[in-house]
Structure 1
Amino acid sequence: MRNRTRILLWALYDFANSLAFANVSFYFGLWFISQHGASDAWMSASVAVVTIMLLGFLPFLGRLSDGVRLRMPFLIACTLLTIITLLALGFFMHGVTTLTTGATVAVFVLYSFFHLFYMSNFAFYDAFIRDLSSRGTSPEKISAFGMGFGQLGNITGLIILLPIAQGTVSPLGFGGIPAVFIAAAVLFFLFSLPTLLFLRDSSRQQSIIPLTRTWGDALRIVRRVREYPGVLPFLLTYCLFADALLTLQLFTSFYLKTVGKLNDTQNTITVIIVIISGVVGSFASPFIVRFLGSTKRAITASIALWMVVLGAFAFAQEPRLMMGLIILNGFAFGTLFSLSRAFYATLVPENAQAEMFSIYSLFERTASIIGPLLWSATAVAFSSFGDDKYRFSVFSLALLIGVSLVIFQFVREPLRTR
């Protein structure tokens, strides 16, 4: 199979999973907090539980994947489990009229398992970057291509499922947010099917390493991360700025409705504008690298831009200014996340891509523990400001991005990325 075809199949998967995840991120908080009056502490607790579970088994699976030199069996299994869990969550939510304690716990469990399997996908999906780039295409271009497809998936998912969320279209005989989750799971399956059927691993090792050795090696790689030059400070950097994005994903729709006073349609349009600018940022990232002369400089510029834009957005009042800042915000994080995984792929050993990307995923999940706690603590501290207390929460995330910028300066760029 030609490498261009493999890259296209790989990027199509990013489109599929982003389509589903965008709707879960956008609508779950509205259904759980706004419609049913549940506490956002449940969402923060879910993130903590998922992170602990990922710490327990994801490095092991990454090491096993590298040991047998296979990505697809693990990616297929995690994808199917993600889809099944999302279907179960949607059907269960449809049957909920009042959130009793039992119903809350059940939703918590299903929501947590969805995130668990969804995040597990990326340890194996991102590990393809190094292999795909070994045939002449730079990892920055491949990552940008996948990120761009992912952002298109976000836009497509939010647009085509909006009528279902509003109840104007009822393909299952009912509409609303539960139906959105069911439809998103079906679309995830359909769009990921070509990848799952036709994308193949490029190399194979005949013997499978013993499980006891796999566990031991996984534990050693976690302890040994600091021995790879630049990996630990980069992971800390990534942890902090991913923290900001993941927290915004959790609370953006709630923030825009509560502080921005937007209705659901306006809310959706605003998020789509952010995503479109993120697509532009993703596809522009290789050109930014070329213009600035190195990937590290491009990442530094993206972090700095995002910090300034998010800080200004926190206190912007004039609608035109807010819209301009929203566009820049999307461009900055689209560029940043596109470049980050490509840069990381050049920092880690070629024969340890899956296991090291499992650590990458763990740092991302650890970030999502810190962020919601910081958001909530800041809101409590500034509760006297009413709904504007959440503006301070957004500003606290901008400060977090600033800390990541400082730490990133301790990362030395590999010569081959300059």
Structure 2
Amino acid sequence: MNKKNLFYWSLYDFANSFVFINFLLYFSQWLVIDGGLSDFWYNAIFAISSVILLFSGPTLASFTDKFGGRKHFLKFSTFGTILGYGFATLLAYLNQPMIFIAICFLIGQYFYQLSFIFHNPMIEDVADINHRARASGICQFSNSLGQLMGLVLSLFFSKNRLASLLPSIIIFFLLSLPILIYFKEQQIRQAKLSIQSFSNGSKEFFRKLVIFFSVSVAVPVLVAFFFFNDALLTASNNYSIYMERVFSIPDMTKNIILMTILIMSALGGLTFGKIADRIGALKSIKIILITWIVLFPGLGLVKTIPGLIICSTMLGFTMGGMVAVVRAYLSQKLKKEEFGYGFSFYTLFERFSTFFGPLTWGGSIAIFGTSATSYRITMIFMTVYIVIGFLVIQFWKIKQRSTNLQTEQTSSMI
């Protein structure tokens, strides 16, 4: 295990968590509650950015598999995140039209997602295959710790929901510099990406997609991850709004609940990282899914704030574990020639690659209204996607076969 690279890699996940948690908790409420953006269009921002990422992320990942340069593209996506989120915040402060604020937020959201297309595969330069579950757990611990510190930061800027956003962006920029400068890659950048090479790679998108999803043993977990993570992230994106609408919880109490969730998420990442090394990553994934099938209905049915805290704490512990274990599983199963390409789909599904969930959530609220009962029903309905994910893992198996994906990548980029 390369301890320096592990530190830089984990520090980046710590850094981006500041903007993640503050925009998720406070900017979401400002858009929907203060700014008047509908639940549907708020969730549509995540769906639209996911579609854009779907048609660009895998192509860029294929390019880095062949020609290297993951750190170079990480720099590009990091600065795109800072500019998009930064302008969205400034325009909100200046009370500019909501359409411009939403567009800037969408741009920042896209580049935020894109950064992990290149960050996650860097685990290849962090740890050998036998220690990746532990390295992934440490990184997830850093991610949750960063979100916790982001909430602590917000306590010093609690006068309004926009106050903590610019400080979080500045912290993200400063703490992202070490990986952008000092991280050591085994595969040095060998070629520059041109418009023609990107266009050629995009044209081969569907052919490469069919090849990968036909032969890679990692595909069942990726597909399952799409469904259960769709439900998980949709609930996370709307969680502060859910607590507001259902329990009328003040911002300070929300912070305490979210801090508890994040502490447990950090511990869950470390714990399940070690467990997965002993009993296997796939078995660990199934255990967590069964737990979620019970917890999501519990979140929808619980009537008291203490009950909400108990369910939320258990969910946080397993959330941290799931991120660590799935990332480790894929890093063990993906072949070198498909490493970045395969991880691009993990990134799509891990970070706001939500589609069905947000549309279901937004559509449900649009149909049934904004009453507490409507939000409870919508939360319970998210369990359907978790069950689908469990069934996919349980019954869909792909045997190890050779693949021509590397040849396809090379020809499409020339």
Give the aligned partner of residue 41 of structure 2: 42
Give the aligned partner of residue 173 of structure 1: none
What is the CA deviation profile of residues 3-50 of structure 1, one whole-angstrom value per residue up to 9, with x for unaligned ones? 111111100000001111111111122101111222122212212321
Aligned partners of 1:357, 1:94: CA distance in 2, in Å?
37
Q: How far apart are 1:117 and its partner, in Å?
A: 0.1
Give the aligned partner of residue 359 of structure 1: 345
Of 159, 164, 175, which aligns to 1:180?
164
Aligned partners of 2:311, 2:229: CA distance in 1, in Å?
19
Q: How far apart are 1:144 and its partner, in Å?
A: 0.7
Aligned partners of 2:363, 2:49: CA distance in 1, in Å?
21
Would you say 1:195 and 2:191 are equivalent positions? no
What is the CA deviation profile of residues 237-286 of structure 1, one whole-angstrom value per residue up to 9, with x for unaligned ones? 11111112221222111111111221010011111111111111101012
Q: Which segment is superposed worse, 361-370 or 148-157? A: 361-370
Of 383, 390, 394, which aligns to 1:398?
383
Q: Do 2:269 and 2:320's aligned partners in 1 also have CA atoms closer than 8 Å?
A: yes
Aligned partners of 2:6, 2:351: CA distance in 1, in Å?
26
Identity among equivalent pairs (%): 24
Aligned partners of 2:124, 2:268: CA distance in 1, in Å?
22
Of 248, 261, 267, which aligns to 2:248?
261
- Structure 1 residues 207, 403: closer, same or farther in 2, change over 3 A? closer
Q: Do 2:281 and 2:325's aligned partners in 1 also have CA atoms closer than 8 Å?
A: yes
Aligned partners of 1:46, 1:371: CA distance in 2, in Å?
13
Of 320, 335, 349, which aligns to 2:335?
349
Give the aligned partner of residue 147 of structure 1: 140
What is the CA deviation profile of residues 155-178 of structure 1, one whole-angstrom value per residue up to 9, with x for unaligned ones? 0011112221x22xxxxxxxx333
Aligned partners of 1:296, 1:324: CA distance in 2, in Å?
26
- Structure 1 residues 49, 298: closer, same or farther in 2, change over 3 A? same
Aligned partners of 2:156, 2:300: CA distance in 1, in Å?
30
Would you say 1:375 and 2:361 are equivalent positions? yes
Q: Which blocks of at least 5 consecutive residues in structure 1 are unaligned?
A: 168-175
What is the CA deviation profile of residues 106-161 of structure 1, one whole-angstrom value per residue up to 9, with x for unaligned ones? 01110100110000011100011133223x75111111111110000000011112
Aligned partners of 2:352, 2:81: CA distance in 1, in Å?
20
Aligned partners of 2:189, 2:26: CA distance in 1, in Å?
43
Aligned partners of 1:58, 1:317: CA distance in 2, in Å?
42
Of 102, 107, 113, which aligns to 1:113?
107
Q: How far apart are 1:218 and its partner, in Å?
A: 4.3
Q: Do 1:382 and 1:392's aligned partners in 2 also have CA atoms closer than 8 Å?
A: no
Aligned partners of 1:94, 1:208: CA distance in 2, in Å?
38
Q: How far apart are 1:411 and its partner, in Å?
A: 5.2
Aligned partners of 2:271, 2:245: CA distance in 1, in Å?
33
Aligned partners of 1:366, 1:194: CA distance in 2, in Å?
25
Q: How far apart are 1:289 and its partner, in Å?
A: 2.0
Q: How far apart are 1:296 and its partner, in Å?
A: 0.7
Q: How does 1:228-239 map to 2 (within 5 A)?
A: 228-239=215-226
Of 307, 312, 325, which aligns to 2:298?
312
How many residues matched? 397
Give the aligned partner of residue 329 of structure 1: 315
Q: How does 1:163-312 map to 2 (within 5 A)?
A: 163-164=156-157, 166-167=158-159, 176-204=160-188, 206=190, 211=197, 214-290=201-277, 293-312=279-298
- Structure 1 residues 356, 150: closer, same or farther in 2, change over 3 A? same
Of 145, 149, 152, which aligns to 1:156?
149
Aligned partners of 1:58, 1:139: CA distance in 2, in Å?
23
Q: Do 1:347 and 1:414's aligned partners in 2 also have CA atoms closer than 8 Å?
A: no
Give the aligned partner of residue 54 of structure 1: 53
Amino acid at match of 1:155: L
Q: How does 1:131-142 map to 2 (within 5 A)?
A: 131-134=125-128, 138-142=131-135
Give the aligned partner of residue 6 of structure 1: 5
- Structure 1 residues 19, 207: closer, same or farther in 2, change over 3 A? closer
Q: How far apart are 1:414 and its partner, in Å?
A: 9.4
What is the CA deviation profile of residues 50-106 of structure 1, one whole-angstrom value per residue up to 9, with x for unaligned ones? 12321332122111111212210000110011112211111111001xx7xxx1110
Aligned partners of 2:378, 2:262: CA distance in 1, in Å?
21
Aligned partners of 1:155, 1:365: CA distance in 2, in Å?
18
Q: Which segment is superposed worse, 144-153 or 208-217? A: 208-217
Q: Do 2:62 and 2:338's aligned partners in 1 also have CA atoms closer than 8 Å?
A: yes
Q: Do 2:85 and 2:109's aligned partners in 1 also have CA atoms closer than 8 Å?
A: no
Q: Which segment is superposed worse, 81-90 or 365-374? A: 365-374
Give the TM-score taking structure 1 as reference length: 0.89
Q: Do 1:19 and 1:184's aligned partners in 2 also have CA atoms closer than 8 Å?
A: yes
Q: How does 1:54-93 map to 2 (within 5 A)?
A: 54-93=53-92
Q: Do 1:247 and 1:372's aligned partners in 2 also have CA atoms closer than 8 Å?
A: yes
Aligned partners of 1:27, 1:70: CA distance in 2, in Å?
34
Aligned partners of 2:372, 2:108: CA distance in 1, in Å?
30
Q: Do 1:218 and 1:355's aligned partners in 2 also have CA atoms closer than 8 Å?
A: no
Q: Secondary structure at the match of 1:310?
A: helix
Q: Do 2:12 and 2:176's aligned partners in 1 also have CA atoms closer than 8 Å?
A: yes
Q: Secondary structure at the match of 1:277?
A: helix
Would you say 1:123 and 2:117 are equivalent positions? yes
Amino acid at match of 1:91: L
Q: Secondary structure at the match of 1:368?
A: coil
Q: Secondary structure at the match of 2:184?
A: coil
Q: Secondary structure at the match of 2:37?
A: coil
Q: Secondary structure at the match of 1:202?
A: coil
Q: How far apart are 1:347 and its partner, in Å?
A: 2.4
